[in-house]
Structure 1
Amino acid sequence: MEQPDYLPQHSRLTAILLGIIGGAIDVYSHLQFGSLVATQTGNIILLISDVKDHSTESTLLRCLSILFFSVGFLVGVFVKDRAKTAFWRVYMLLPLLIMTAVLPLLPHFTYLWVILLAFGTGLLMLTFTGSKIEDHPYMILMTSGNYRKMLLAWYRVVSQKERDALMVRQAMNYSLTVLSFILGAMCVAFLNPLLHEKAIWSVTICLALVIWHYMSVTIRYGLQKTNL
């Protein structure tokens, strides 16, 4: 059977959508809760830097985010180790898809929202850990590492006397991951004053597109038993 150029989790489209999700969900959680649910190193830095301006609520929210992100990540490891079909990645995305779709319709209970979103984001992080954008490793949901890779890739493109199409494509790929993260962050920042809690639906839409793309490629090329 014909095989795709890249596995669905390594496609450029998946990387762009995950970049949008990463920027959107952290800006959303910061605006709504004063905490982060994807960038846990950011939560640790905020906990330490705000130690003098002690706020029991913000401290508790950040600790809960770190804890339940970690739990979600470990649950993902457990499921991955026992996966028998490529659709395990879809199953890991469904909790966050459902949460982001339903939570804006429920009463705003900050602690519950942070717990659920951090848990779902931990699952998402594990699900695509080790993924590439085509042939190139990158950081999902975060952009600092991708930004450094982008700068290095473009430096090589500009400085090398002999450059090929693959070198330029690598630089373009890292640029797309950075720009998609910024786009997701800006999208939520713009939508939040208009839609308030419902701005999280931008994440829901991107998650649905990731699932659709992953399932369609997996089924089309019969990757159910091989893409574990």
Structure 2
Amino acid sequence: MDTTKQPVPMPQDRRTMAILLGAVGGCLDVFSHMQFSTLIATQTGNIILIVADWDGPTVKTAYRILSLVFFTCGFILGILLKERAQSSHWRTWGVLPLTLTTFLFPFFHSHYFIWVILLATSTGMVMLTYTGSKIESYPYMIMMTSGNYRRMVTAWYEYIRFKDRRHIIRRQAANYSMIVASFIGGAVFTGFLTRFIHQYAIWTVTTILTIIIIHYTRYNHIHHLEQKNI
């Protein structure tokens, strides 16, 4: 009987976290596009929109440029936060700004320029905070789905073609399918809510981020990973 103790997986590398982060990305992009005609999480999409609609309304172009610039600033802030990290709690601090921003938005939602800046900056921080995370042992893109969709299709193709490795590939294909499904689910759910409760639909993001904070903090505490998971 094998009594070797298996290493405890880090919380950011578990299926639960990957699914939650995927849903956040879908929620944010649909909500921001419906509210501001820009994207917050998928900045490559913003670049395409800026170029394609350059002759369109100036305000929309301004929102997209602001989102791109301040997402980059938030990403850099995340790097600085990571460099100064002394425990696993730095990831909680990296998520808190977006949690607070999405919670406060419905109360003061009229100043769109300010909110695009705040949302983009705090989203950039979250992106850096969980960059390098894996779903089990498989790398994936957090809060966006284009790369994950490609990996999902590739994995299912290999599952069908290579029968000798099916038991391994099936797990990989299922993992990427879950991430893509969570992104789509978050997008559809938030789009539906926005049509009925308008700016309050962003509280979907607040709720998911709160779950992420609680799950991450609790998992680290239970498995004593505060000084190991930096």
Q: TM-score, normalised by structure 1?
A: 0.96
Kindly tell me the number of residue pairs found equivalent between the two proteins: 226
Deviations 1:107-161, CA, capped at 9 Å, x for gaps: 4211011011001100000001010001000000110100010011111111112
Letter in 1 for 2:40: V
Deviations 1:30-85, CA, capped at 9 Å, x for gaps: 000001111111111111001233x2111111111111101110000001011000
Letter in 2 for 1:51: W
User: Which secondary structure state, in structure 1, belongs to the residue aligned with residue 164 of structure 2?
Assistant: coil
Percent identity over the alignment? 48
Letter in 2 for 1:106: F
Alignment of 1:47-196 (within 5 A): 47-53=50-56, 55-196=57-198
The unaligned stretches of length 5 or more in structure 2 are none
2:220: which partner in 1? 218
State the distance in 2 between where 1:9 and 1:3 align.
Answer: 17
Match among 6, 26, 47 for residue 29 of structure 2: 26
State the distance in 2 between where 1:106 and 1:189 align.
Answer: 20
* TM superposition shift of 1:194: 1.0
Letter in 2 for 1:167: I
2:40: which partner in 1? 37
Letter in 2 for 1:64: L
1:22–1:141 contact (8 Å) kept in structure 2:
yes
State the distance in 1 between where 2:83 and 2:120 align.
Answer: 21
Letter in 2 for 1:188: T
1:3–1:221 contact (8 Å) kept in structure 2:
no
The runs of 4+ residues in structure 1 deviating greater than 3 Å are: 2-5
State the distance in 2 between where 1:3 and 1:207 align.
Answer: 29
Letter in 1 for 2:38: S
Residues 57 and 125 of structure 1, relative CA distance in 2, 3 Å threshold: same
State the distance in 2 between where 1:61 and 1:161 align.
Answer: 49
Deviations 1:85-104, CA, capped at 9 Å, x for gaps: 00000001000001111111
State the distance in 2 between where 1:196 and 1:161 align.
Answer: 49
User: Which secondary structure state, in structure 2, belongs to the residue aligned with residue 123 of structure 1?
Assistant: helix
State the distance in 1 between where 2:60 and 2:78 align.
Answer: 27
User: Which secondary structure state, in structure 1, belongs to the residue aligned with residue 64 of structure 2?
Assistant: helix
1:4–1:221 contact (8 Å) kept in structure 2:
no
User: Which secondary structure state, in structure 1, belongs to the residue aligned with residue 63 of structure 2?
Assistant: helix
* TM superposition shift of 1:5: 3.9
The unaligned stretches of length 5 or more in structure 1 are none
User: Which secondary structure state, in structure 2, belongs to the residue aligned with residue 163 of structure 1?
Assistant: helix
1:17–1:210 contact (8 Å) kept in structure 2:
yes
User: Which secondary structure state, in structure 2, belongs to the residue aligned with residue 140 of structure 1?
Assistant: coil
User: Which secondary structure state, in structure 1, belongs to the residue aligned with residue 40 of structure 2?
Assistant: coil
